[in-house]
Structure 1
Amino acid sequence: MTPATSTPSAARRQDIRRWRRYLADERAEGAVYRTLAEKRSGEERLILLGLAEAEQRHEEHWQRMLGEHAERTPRPSIRRTLLRFMARHFGSVFVLALAQRAEGNSPYVKDQDATRQMAADEMVHEEVVRALATAGRKRLSGNFRAAVFGANDGLVSNLALVMGIGATGVSTSVVLFSGVAGLLAGALSMAAGEYVSVRSQRELMLASRPTQATLSAAPHLDLDHNELVLVYKARGMSAEDAEHRAGERLGYFTCDCDPSLSFHAEEEARPQQDEDDTIGSSVGAASSSFLFFASGAVIPILPYLFGMTGLAAVSLSVALVGLALLCTGAVVGLLSGAAPGKRALRQLAIGWGAAAVTYVLGLAFGTSVA
């Protein structure tokens, strides 16, 4: 691999264009990580700066390959440009999810002009970004699940209701009132269901969480029948580890470690935080379900709210819901680091399929009501 000459051949010009594109993308990715680092602190900030330094090494490689042609660098790809914009203005888990996907789609594995170390770096970068995005995904998982489920349910259920009622031949006003009733009933039902579900899950987790009983009971235990060992065995420790931990509690052994970092302390503190992040708030889940179900359910009835009737209203309703389903599917795909296009088409197929079934049933049981 040698730097490009001042009068490159046609084949070399293609290489130069590719190298320039790589150079622009590496600069953009480095800028994304540095921008994200400015909004973080502690270890996470250092990790992001480390990623930026690695991208700078890759950038220097393509500069050496280009030689004098490195001066005219094109704009980065649309994906990298969008990533930089979002990093400047948002800096959220969406940016990390997009960065994870960009790192996972690196062309260096198949490009002979990229070193094996660079290809390996990109693979590792994907895992680093995945790990950084995990915490944000956990924080979103509870309420975000309720929001996505609520919006999708509102879209699909109310479109199916409107099309099924409309196919029976009833008047437009009946279709509209049915849609509004479906919106209110569904939103309230979703909110109540999410509140009870999350609240019940929290109560179950709370009932399973270890308590401080071992600390208060230890001084009064029968030393010849040390049932404290059974506590630690029940929590998953081996017999030897349980014996040692019980001995520490009773003062037989001294532990050089920080007591706040003991197995018992970790066992009580870490699961609680993980559960809080993953399950989410019961009130937050209920509110998200209500608002997002209502926002989804209002879309199918928008044409009827504006006075449209007949096939035109049905067609526009189907089109609007289809667009919304594509958006919700793409968002889920982005946050999961997967292909947004596939997730969007999957949402669309499921939603339209359910609506089509109810429409056919409406035709089958239709009436001649004006």
Structure 2
Amino acid sequence: MVYKVPPTTEPTPAQISKWRRYLANERAEAALYRELARKKTGEEREILMALAESESRHEQFWREKLGEYVGFPRNPDLTTRFMGFMARHFGSVFTLALMQTAESRSPYIKDEDASPQIAADERIHAEVVRGLAARGREQMSGGFRAAVFGANDGLVSNLALVVGIMGSGVSANMILLTGISGLLAGALSMAAGEYVSVSSQKELLEASTPHPKAHTLLPSLDVNANELALVYRARGMGEKEAVAKAKSEFSRVALEQAIGLDRDDSPDARHDVEPVNPGEVVGSPWTAAGSSFLFFAGGAFIPIVPYIFGASPVLGAIIAVVLVSGALMFTGGVVGVLSGKPPFSRAMRQLAIGLGAAGITYLLGVAFGTVVG
């Protein structure tokens, strides 16, 4: 598609500067999509290459609009350069999540200098990138998300504990002992909770799985009573669909009996009474427990680092707050990227929650220390 460049009067210096910026961004975004496509295969690669070609057409639009004012190539915006860095050095999940936000905030939508076709393209690009980012999130291991949330829980809970006990006026050694106790107690609690949760989920799924020998009963069932249809209805099928599937199974059984095929050797034998909606795959409860313990402990370790090196109660608390603030902003930003939301706002929200919890426990610690004292 060739975009029509609307006739314009002599551009102003502000317009020339803006158009050059658009040109640089389009060139960089085309390169970004090509870089992402280089690491993909199949359909995803084709989609990314098509996006790159579209950005190249946008680049040509601004080049023609600038005409003799195109000038020397300039650097794209800082945000676009950052996404290019992410595309070159990190996975496509994070880059596409950032691109999703960038495409949905295209300046062309409100810019009269941009053609309606380009503005429409950018809106569609946001939806295409949203779909690609969703694919990546689904492929991303659930263990990574559990790691981020587990570490975040350790950060907030142990910072609040350390700052709260510091507010009561105890010594640095007592703060360190309390912090280590909080780390171990919280990590063990998280591990036990994950073990019970995953084990219970596996047991529930096992209770819903058909008996492995259920298919051997089919030859003995009354075809007219059609008890098999009740099995399918109980597993979620509608009445007509269940009756039709049951008749199909009985017909298959009759054919197998006629040719002397053993049901246990039939490739369809184990699918006769499969659940309509198979259960999800659940990991090992020991793996879940171990990862929860490690990631919670890793987050909870950060607030006690200053006291391990002998910091005083107040100085140690200040350093702990600074360290945990950086870690909270990082985990909040990651959560924002994974959820397709602006990472900075999610980072600040996570920081506010963590510091808010620490502030409340500090006040409680001060009040407790005053009363006891």
Partner Cα separation in structure 1 for residue 168 and residue 220 of structure 2 = 76
Aligned residue among 309, 322, 336 for 1:319: 322
Residue 67 of structure 1 corresponds to: 67
TM-score normalized with structure 2 length: 0.83
Equivalent pair of 1:21/1:73 in contact (CA under 8 Å): no
Partner Cα separation in structure 1 for residue 96 and residue 211 of structure 2 = 37
The CA deviation string for residues 235-279 of structure 1, in whole angstroms up to 9 with x for no partner, is 433333333333333338xxxxxxx9xxx79x879855xx34xx6
Equivalent pair of 2:235/2:275 in contact (CA under 8 Å): no
1:238-253 alignment to 2 at 5 Å? 238-251=238-251
Structure 2, unaligned stretches of length 5 or more?
Answer: 253-266
Residue 135 of structure 1 corresponds to: 135
AA at the equivalent of 1:308: A
Task: Kindly indicate whether residue 342 of structure 2 is the aligned counterpart of residue 339 of structure 1.
Answer: yes
Residue 309 of structure 2 corresponds to: 306
- SS of equivalent to 1:295: helix
Equivalent pair of 2:171/2:313 in contact (CA under 8 Å): no
The verdict on how the C-alpha distance between 1:113 and 1:233 changes in structure 2, with shifts beyond 3 A counting, is farther
Structure 1, unaligned stretches of length 5 or more?
Answer: 253-259
Cα distance, 1:316 vs. partner?
2.0
Partner Cα separation in structure 2 for residue 41 and residue 219 of structure 1 = 48
Partner Cα separation in structure 2 for residue 106 and residue 270 of structure 1 = 41
AA at the equivalent of 1:174: M
The verdict on how the C-alpha distance between 1:283 and 1:113 changes in structure 2, with shifts beyond 3 A counting, is farther
Residue 366 of structure 1 corresponds to: 369
Aligned residue among 273, 283, 288 for 1:285: 288
Partner Cα separation in structure 1 for residue 356 and residue 251 of structure 2 = 66
Partner Cα separation in structure 2 for residue 186 and residue 236 of structure 1 = 41
- SS of equivalent to 1:365: helix
Residue 15 of structure 1 corresponds to: 15
Residue 191 of structure 1 corresponds to: 191
Say how many residue pairs are matched. 351
1:55-204 alignment to 2 at 5 Å? 55-140=55-140, 142-204=142-204
AA at the equivalent of 1:329: G
The CA deviation string for residues 33-62 of structure 1, in whole angstroms up to 9 with x for no partner, is 221222112222222222222222222222
Cα distance, 1:26 vs. partner?
1.7
AA at the equivalent of 1:60: Q
AA at the equivalent of 2:109: V
Which structure's CA Rg is the greater one?
2
**Identity %, equivalent residues:** 57
Equivalent pair of 1:98/1:334 in contact (CA under 8 Å): yes
Task: Kindly indicate whether residue 336 of structure 2 is the aligned counterpart of residue 330 of structure 1.
Answer: no
The verdict on how the C-alpha distance between 1:87 and 1:3 changes in structure 2, with shifts beyond 3 A counting, is farther
1:252-291 alignment to 2 at 5 Å? 275-276=280-281, 282-291=285-294
Equivalent pair of 2:237/2:276 in contact (CA under 8 Å): no
**What is the root-mean-square deviation of aligned Cα atoms in Å?**
3.0
The verdict on how the C-alpha distance between 1:114 and 1:227 changes in structure 2, with shifts beyond 3 A counting, is farther
- SS of equivalent to 1:224: coil
Partner Cα separation in structure 2 for residue 16 and residue 129 of structure 1 = 29
TM-score normalized with structure 1 length: 0.83
- SS of equivalent to 1:101: helix
Partner Cα separation in structure 2 for residue 184 and residue 358 of structure 1 = 19
Partner Cα separation in structure 2 for residue 27 and residue 205 of structure 1 = 51
